[in-house]
Amino acid sequence: MGLGHLIVIAGPSGVGKSTIVREMLRQTGAFFSVSATTRNRRPNETDGCDYRFVNRATFEKMIAEGQLLEWAEVFGDYYGTPEKPVTEALSGAKTVILEIDIEGSRQVHQKLPEATFIFIGPPDKDELKRRLTNRGTESQRDIERRYARAAEEMCVATGSGIYNHMIVNDDLDRAIRQVVDIVKEQTQK
């Protein structure tokens, strides 16, 4: 059996990662690695599909047992990628997609630098703030915290040397096409 390819998609909250990934998965049939988190489930989310929602003790056990490819604590909640489904899919010659944050990308890059890393950015900071606000899923305090973190993440990402591709999501259809093209190119290698 051949090995698959790992594609890491990162970017700040509200940039449109989930929308882009959802459509890219539909068009390519790639395997989506479902992250685990301790944060509360939002009304439009499904456990096991959007995230694996677990309690803090379960997540900390996953950390202690080395079950995570990457993990971080963000705004008091844990987020991480269970390693086993990723390694199994890669061993099965599948293209695997991770949708994670900047810190997670750094950790994955240390372990698997041969992966393809894509950073999705907003057209500008004002648009990002508008998108965060229009999601209607967070309090004003949370929006401000995510916006401040996003500004830091964009600075880190551009200077990190990790990302093979930087995509500005100023036109959703174009951003989707760009990501789909990258995934298809990697699948053909």
Closest by Cα among 161, 159, 131 to 143: 131
Residue 136 · residue 36 · CB < 8 Å: no
- For 88, residues 6+ apart whose C-beta sits below 8 A from its C-beta are none
pLDDT of residue 164: 93
**Mean pLDDT value across the chain:** 88
Q: How far apart (Å, rounded) are the C-alpha atoms in residues 109 and 118?
A: 12
Mean pLDDT within 41-46: 89
**Residue that has been written with the tokens 């393809």 in this structure:** 116
Residue 91 · residue 3 · CB < 8 Å: yes
Q: How confident is the model at residue 188 (pLDDT cuts 50, 70, 90)?
A: confident
pLDDT tens, residue by residue, 57-102? 999 999 999 999 999 998 899 999 999 999 999 999 999 999 998 8
- For the ranges 28-32, 154-158, 174-178, the lowest mean pLDDT is seen at 154-158
Q: Which domains does the chain have, with CATH numbers?
A: 5-187 (3.40.50.300)
With b for 16 or more beta-carbon neighbours within 10 A and e for fewer, the 162-177 pattern comes to bbeeebebeeeeebbb
pLDDT tens, residue by residue, 102-144? 889 999 999 999 999 999 988 777 776 776 777 666 678 876 7
Q: How far apart (Å, rounded) are the C-alpha atoms in residues 1 and 95?
A: 14
Whole-structure pTM value: 0.84
Is pLDDT of 9 > 80?
yes
